[in-house]
Amino acid sequence: MTAKDKLYIFDTTLRDGEQSPGASMTRDEKIRIAKMLEKMRVDIIEAGFAIASKGDFESIQAIAKAVKDSTICSLARAVPGDIERAAEAIKPANSGRIHTFIATSPIHMQYKLKMQPPQVLEQAVSAVKLARNHTDDVEFSLEDASRSEFDFMCKIIESVIDAGARTINLPDTVGYGEPEEYGAMFGRLINAIPNADKAIFSTHCHNDLGLAVANSLAAVMHGARQVECTINGLGERAGNAALEEIVMAVRTRQDMMPVETDLDATHIVPTSRLVSSITGFAVQPNKAIVGANAFAHESGIHQDGVLKHRETYEIMRAEDVGWNTNKLVLGKHSGRAAVKARFEALGITFDNPEALSAAFERFKDLADKKHEIFDEDLQALVSDVKPQSVPETYQLGDLEVVCKTGQQPTATLSLTIDGKEHTCSATGSGPVDATYKAIESAAQSHTTLKLYSVNAITQGTDSQGDVTVRLEKDGQIVNGVGADTDIVVASAKAYLHALNLLAAPERSHPQREGI
Ligand code: KIV
Ligand code: ZN
């Protein structure tokens, strides 16, 4: 067997994933996810875009302090202000990276940047040199590489490597690439550029044509040794290449792959659930690796084969990616230490004993209503806790709903808005509709409801309902989440969570603004 190269896993859930409309995460939520990524042995965590907002900057800084084993990276446009801000944000990291980028395709240079290629080249080289004053670990991305001209890419890549870039990323920014063409682009560039051996080539694919993972793997076949990806494929539009699919394809097809990763795949499912519960982006049941049905063999022929010899129909083992880790069940007699340990195994830690006590109280309340508490219940228990960085402008008090066959349901509730108490009541076509109308009679939020979804978190009729509410106001989109054994209460919590997110300061999106 020939020695395999290492494939570096660069996770951008907290940066490109967060650019997905409605996927904004708070600092505390980002820290939780970053710690899970570290546990999974992700090599590089792109923690945010430092110049985007004060919140992004503080999140990167906090992650740089909290995470020790993974490299912490900030994105920066190829301009001095961005690079200085990124450098400041990653300063506390054991190992920090600045990732700077500029667009190189004719269409982006002409219409977005309004710059000539020589100017773009000059700006790229200056940016990399400036970043190298702060760290040895500098990555340079040619935004929209898959639509860029080959000779110009050769020139700019050779120059930025000479200027000190150690990773060269060739994004398929708009998801236009096709595996053979995109993979071959890597091979041709690596062969043509004289100093290509001084850098690691990286892939970064968007999923607009459903080809992000295929394109990433094709690039690996042609020499890429870093893959940029996100948990659950989270990301703008159709999302980014899914980390779990890349990692398991590399592992399962070792007969084909020239690389291996250091990842501990047993943390994949818990991390997927964490990201889904924090962002409110549900994972579709048939999603590869992390979907609820990914390992469910329903057909009689399959079941028979699996029982006789597992490998007849199974190419991976569910437990290898972290399924079935929720066998340990907690209940009303479980003590604080057991509950704390289970929270920690799920990547949920508490900053102080009071926060743990509050979570333990919520656990006890739930255990009174529900016999067995699973991992999914614990994750839901903390998903709608508003961290300090999201002020609780709206707070739910009592909620009463009266439903009777043949009559319109009526909801009556007390609500605190900015410290002022309101009592409101409304009727609606169903109990949730009545509750939302009652909330709106006091909140007058002028938002548009884009999505309402409710899922059972676990099996059984005593399951908690997990509600996601997507609201839009003046172009800003947020996802509120709420969980409770009573789905009307869960719905109210999710709605108020969304209103609280809308009331929090908004972040800008410098990647769209160009330079
Ligand atoms: O898709 C893209 O081009 C990006 C770059 C900033 C790396 O996200
Ligand atoms: Zn991207």
Pick from 279, 294, 315: which residue ends a domain? Answer: 279
- Order the strands of the 394-402 sheet from edge to edge: 394-402, 410-417, 420-427
Inside any domain, residue 330 = no
- CA end-to-end distance (rounded Å), the chain: 48
Q: Which residues are near ligand 2, the ion (C-beta closer than 5 Å)?
A: 16
Q: Are residues 408 and 275 in the same domain?
A: no
pTM: 0.84
Pick from 246, 279, 312: which residue ends a domain? Answer: 279
Inside any domain, residue 513 = no
Total domain count for the chain?
2
CATH assignment at residue 458: 3.30.160.270
Inside any domain, residue 316 = no
Residue 386 main-chain phi, psi, to 5 deg:
-80, 115
Inside any domain, residue 349 = no
Helices and strands (DSSP H and E) totals, the chain: 17, 16
Q: Which atom of ligand 1 is nearest to the CA of 169?
A: 7
Inside any domain, residue 236 = yes
Nearest residue to 215 via CA among 245, 194, 191 = 245
Q: How far is CA 504 from the centre of its chain?
A: 20
The Å distance, Cα 103 to ligand 1 centre, comes to 9
Q: Which residues face 331 on adjacent strands? A: none
The Å distance, Cα 311 to ligand 2 centre, comes to 36
Inside any domain, residue 112 = yes
Which of the listed residues 13, 75, 108, 148 should we mutate to test ligand 1's pocket, taking the one with most ligand atoms within 8 A of CB? Answer: 75
Inside any domain, residue 383 = no
Per-residue pLDDT of the chain (515 residues; tens, 9 = 90+): 468 999 999 999 999 999 988 888 889 889 999 999 999 999 999 999 999 999 999 999 999 999 999 999 999 999 999 999 999 999 999 999 999 999 999 999 999 999 999 999 999 999 999 999 999 999 999 999 999 999 999 999 999 999 999 999 999 999 999 999 999 999 999 999 999 999 999 999 999 999 999 999 999 999 999 999 999 999 999 999 999 999 999 999 999 999 999 999 999 999 998 899 888 888 988 999 999 889 876 666 776 777 777 788 889 999 999 986 545 578 888 888 888 988 887 778 887 888 899 889 989 998 988 878 887 788 888 766 655 456 789 999 999 999 999 999 999 999 999 999 999 999 999 999 999 999 999 999 999 998 898 887 777 788 888 888 989 998 888 888 888 999 999 999 999 999 998 988 665 566 666 65
CATH assignment at residue 206: 3.20.20.70
Q: Are residues 47 and 180 in the same domain?
A: yes
Q: Are residues 194 and 68 in the same domain?
A: yes
**Is there a binding annotation on residue 206?**
yes
Other Cβ atoms within 10 Å of 4 Cβ, number: 13
Q: How far is CA 229 from the centre of its chain?
A: 10
Instruction: Write down the pLDDT at residue 481.
Output: 85
Instruction: Name the token pair of 440.
Output: 């709106």
How is 110-172 classified by DSSP, letter by letter?
A: IIII---HHHHHHHHHHHHHHHHTT-S-EEEEEETGGGS-HHHHHHHHHHHHHHT--EEEEEE
- Beta strand 259-260 with 5-6 is parallel
Q: Are residues 273 and 418 in the same domain?
A: no
| Cα distance between residue 218 and residue 6, in whole Å | 16
Q: Which residues line ligand 1 (CB under 6 A)?
A: 16, 101, 141, 143, 169, 171, 173, 204, 206, 511
Q: Within 13 A of 511's CA, how many CA atoms are on the CB side?
A: 19
Sign of CA dihedral 426, 432, 437, 440: positive
Query: Judging by beta carbons within 10 Å of its beta carbon (0-12, 13-18, 19+), is residue 455 exposed, middle or buried?
Result: middle
The Å distance, Cα 23 to ligand 2 centre, comes to 15
Instruction: Write down the pLDDT at residue 325.
Output: 52
**Is there a binding annotation on residue 302?**
no
Inside any domain, residue 101 = yes
> Interior CA angle at 490 toward 484 and 496, to 5°?
135
Q: Are residues 270 and 415 in the same domain?
A: no
Pick from 279, 296, 320: which residue ends a domain? Answer: 279
Residue 348 main-chain phi, psi, to 5 deg:
-105, 110
- 478: domain range? 394-507
The Å distance, Cα 402 to ligand 1 centre, comes to 51
CA dihedral 85, 86, 89, 91 (to 10 degrees): -110
